[in-house]
Amino acid sequence: MTEPIDAHFLRIVPRLVCGTSAPSQPLPWAGSILDADRCLELFDAQLGSRHLDLAARWLQGQGKGFYTIGSSGHEGNAAVAAALRPTDPALLHYRSGAFYLERARQVPGQDPLRDVLLGVVAAAAEPISGGRHKVFGHQGLAVIPQTSTIASHLPRAVGVAFAIERARKLGVASPWPRDALAVCSFGDASANHSTALGAINAAAYCAYQGQSLPLLLLCEDNGLGISVPTPAGWIGSAHGNRAGLKYFEADGGDLTAVFDAALAAGQWVRTRRAPAFLHLRTVRLMGHAGSDVEHAYRSQREIAADYGRDPLVRTAELLIGAGLLTPNEVLARYEAKRVEVLAIAAEVAKAPKLGSAEEIMAPLAHHVAANVTAVATAPAPRDGRWRMFGGTLPESEGPLTLAQAINRALLDVLAYHPQSMVFGEDVGRKGGVYGVTRGLGKRAGRARVFDTLLDEQSILGLALGAGISGLLPIPEIQYLAYLHNAEDQLRGEAATLPFFSAGQYHNPMVLRIAGYGYQKGFGGHFHNDNSLAVLRDIPGLVVASPARPDDAAAMLRTCAAAASLDGRTSVFLEPIALYHTRDLFADGDGEWLVRYAGPREWAATDAPIGRGRTHGDGGELTLVTFANGLHMSLRVARRLERAGVGCRVLDLRWLAPLPVEDLMREAEATGRVLVVDETRRSGGVSEGVVTALVDRGFRGAISRVTSEDSFIPLGAAALRVLLSEAAIEKAAMELVGS
């Protein structure tokens, strides 16, 4: 079926009046920087983008295409690509077809029409995602793929811009040129999302205090969020006069205006190293997507009126009016592009698709344990390590608490990985709420250990951008409950990037979070949160949960090594209640303090991802636990042993992936397993542990004890809903006696 906008173009172009200017004479747009040759090149990109949209509808009608969100009406963004450099990292929203085609034209050897159509049909040969999603992305074009572009990519864009400057300052390698800028496109409806507002605020905040941030924010304002209109003038009113953000605007249908505005905005960002907001007034043609029944919420008159704003018609008017092309020549180019695109579409429709779960999941399986161990157990050169620690190496200190061990391990990571940075709310001058990062800034420098604004989405976005820009970010979220404000930055951005780029892009990151319950004298559910379900079901995400000081140091070095080598994203959960714990069985015994291992001991104390640690060798009961549960379980195990019940305690240490081999070995050793889980009964860690035992065919007795399905209240009432030692001991005796 012919699309109305296609028929409109074919009907209108023959009526356009030819100009009399020859190409060598001054053109009607002589006031613009855009010349005739570039205009013809951009028109070709616009034509290609329009016919990609039409071909996507045709493929869908044939049952061979799976994506129809198009770029029609936004083809003016080709001029933005022309005004920038192909080495400027770009994070593009889903109406960026013309931008992508024009950028590819600037880099020899590209076949962008085929790239896009391979994505439409979900072909395994598609060059960025390998058929996992239709995205605009290409490593050779510095286009970072985005799948969820309802503003969730803006924090990452801020991070990329920040990292361009910070990598240069630190003298570490980056995939982006030293004078690059980051460009990020989004729609007017997305501009209202809290994620967008937070990112734009973070950019302006940095600029306001003199922090270099070369970021071009490109808002393509078509006036609609699917069916919800954006009030006229809203984008300009909201962003046109704010501190720290230079504002540019243009009619998105006028190619010369877009080019001139983009060139000016790009020059501002590149030379000032400061953010700018480029507002293009565009139009949406052919609805939101192929499944969108536009006349259900817009009148036919409104829809038809938009045809008059079609950027292809307006560029045709420009070219014909200047005497560069005749109407017939425009139509010939239009139809030639249709033939070219449809021929490719027919060909790629037959291309092989992803054929197995293993093939689909391949980008998630990029961990090489032996290589990670080699880096995790290798210290920085002695002189560099000596300087980082100020002349007093941690192995020469006395036994350390958990907080102190993490602090020393962070210094070791900073010493070994020159591209690493530690940042978050209060981590710099104050040294963290609990003192875990105290002194790091003095040792490593304020360029590598620094405070951020109070916004978890921006903290994670900074880490996302830094990770793909050659740095090793170690951000901190103050409390586990605060992560829930920003968890989509992990799920929808960090974890998906290697999957939807077929492993070409990764998000190296070690995200430190203070969490769990059992704090004394301080709390409420915002400071005592035991909800981990949101983390454990994210494919490819590593979740580390150390309890003892020695494990924490080794595991932190492992996470940093995995980030550096394999681009892994890890969440490092630190139990607040154990930060400063010194004793285990009795007051003053110092049994929870551990001496920091020197580099010669690191190989023997290595903590590979997905490997647990067993305490004790009793033969009657296995307690499986983690974090605060380890401290409680070891205490209960001693009491049980005195009662004649021999126990062993498996500290899982890694909650994703679970140490299944260790779990099965210790379960089979006793035939009885009690899972001691301080998280909630519903959605807690114990569900995964029990399932793993059942899946592997364990035939022994299994039981579990957990905290209640409740938020954690303030004060002593918290102990009414949190798992207790008494509950563990009671369940253990019942299991042994059954």
**Please, what sign has the CA dihedral across residues 639, 641, 647, 649?**
positive
Contact 191, 242 (CB under 8 A): no
Three-class HEC string of 275-286: CEEEEEECCCCC
| Closest listed residue to residue 679, CA positions, set 573, 520, 593 | 573
Catalytic residue (one of 153, 367, 506, 527): 527
- For residue 25, the model assigns a pLDDT of 47
For 49-108, strand residue ranges (E) read 90-91
- Which one-letter DSSP state was computed for residue 529? B
Please check the confidence at residue 338 and state whether its pLDDT lies above 80: yes
Which string of DSSP letters, residue by residue, matches 9-56? HHHHGGGPPP----TTSPPTTTTSS--HHHHHHHHHHHHHHHHHHHHH
DSSP helix/strand/coil, 123: strand
Please check the confidence at residue 644 and state whether its pLDDT lies above 90: yes
- Rounded Cα distance between 461 and 466, Å, is 8
Which tokens is 7 given?
């028929």
- Which one-letter DSSP state was computed for residue 377? T
- For residue 521, the model assigns a pLDDT of 64
Please check the confidence at residue 24 and state whether its pLDDT lies above 50: no
Residue at token pair 């003892």: 548
Which string of DSSP letters, residue by residue, matches 213-278? --EEEEEEE-SEETTEEPPTTHHHHHHTTBTTBEEEEEETT-HHHHHHHHHHHHHHHHHH---EEE
Q: Which CATH architecture has domain 368-604?
A: 3-Layer(aba) Sandwich (3.40)
Contact 663, 640 (CB under 8 A): no
Which tokens is 727 given?
């509950």
Which string of DSSP letters, residue by residue, matches 379-410? PPPHHHHHHHTTT--GGGS--B-HHHHHHHHH
| Closest listed residue to residue 564, CA positions, set 361, 364, 373, 363 | 373
Between the two ends of the chain, the Cα-to-Cα distance in Å is 71
Topology adopted by domain 613-737: Rossmann fold (3.40.50)
More confident residue, 296 or 2: 296
| Closest listed residue to residue 57, CA positions, set 11, 1, 98 | 1
Contact 329, 94 (CB under 8 A): no
- For residue 718, the model assigns a pLDDT of 87
Return the number of other C-beta atoms located less than 10 Å from residue 598's C-beta. Answer: 12
Nearby residues of 54 by Cβ (< 8 Å), 6 or more positions away: 3, 6, 338, 341
Residues of the chain with CATH 3.40.50.970: 4-13+37-131+143-351, 368-604
- Rounded Cα distance between 240 and 217, Å, is 12
Nearby residues of 333 by Cβ (< 8 Å), 6 or more positions away: 43, 44, 47, 325
- For residue 368, the model assigns a pLDDT of 76
What tens digit of pLDDT does each residue of 189-198 get?
A: 999 999 999 9
**Percentage of residues in the chain with pLDDT exceeding 90?**
86
| Closest listed residue to residue 244, CA positions, set 203, 293, 215, 214 | 203
**Please, what sign has the CA dihedral across residues 706, 710, 716, 720?**
negative
What tens digit of pLDDT does each residue of 424-465 get?
A: 999 999 999 999 999 999 999 999 999 999 999 999 999 999
Q: Is 279 designated active site?
A: no
The three-point CA angle 3-7-8 to 5° equals 115
Please check the confidence at residue 164 and state whether its pLDDT lies above 80: yes
Q: Give strand pairing partners of 228.
A: 225
What tens digit of pLDDT does each residue of 258-290 get?
A: 999 999 999 999 999 999 999 999 999 998 887
What tens digit of pLDDT does each residue of 523-558 get?
A: 677 788 889 999 999 999 999 999 999 999 999 999
H/E element holding 733?
A: helix 725-737
What are the distances in angstroms from CA 218 to CA 19, 76, 118, 187, 565? 33, 12, 26, 8, 33
Which tokens is 484 given?
């829930």
- Rounded Cα distance between 95 and 644, Å, is 69
- For residue 291, the model assigns a pLDDT of 81
| Closest listed residue to residue 19, CA positions, set 313, 314, 323, 318 | 323
DSSP helix/strand/coil, 738: coil
Please check the confidence at residue 573 and state whether its pLDDT lies above 90: yes
- Rounded Cα distance between 79 and 71, Å, is 14
What tens digit of pLDDT does each residue of 198-253 get?
A: 999 999 999 999 999 999 999 999 988 988 889 999 999 999 989 999 999 999 99
Contact 312, 102 (CB under 8 A): no
Contact 625, 578 (CB under 8 A): no
H/E element holding 475?
A: strand 472-477
Classify 4-13+37-131+143-351 by CATH class: alpha beta
What tens digit of pLDDT does each residue of 48-107 get?
A: 999 999 999 999 999 999 988 999 999 999 999 999 999 999 999 999 999 999 999 999
- Rounded Cα distance between 676 and 626, Å, is 8
Residues of the chain with CATH 3.40.50.920: 613-737
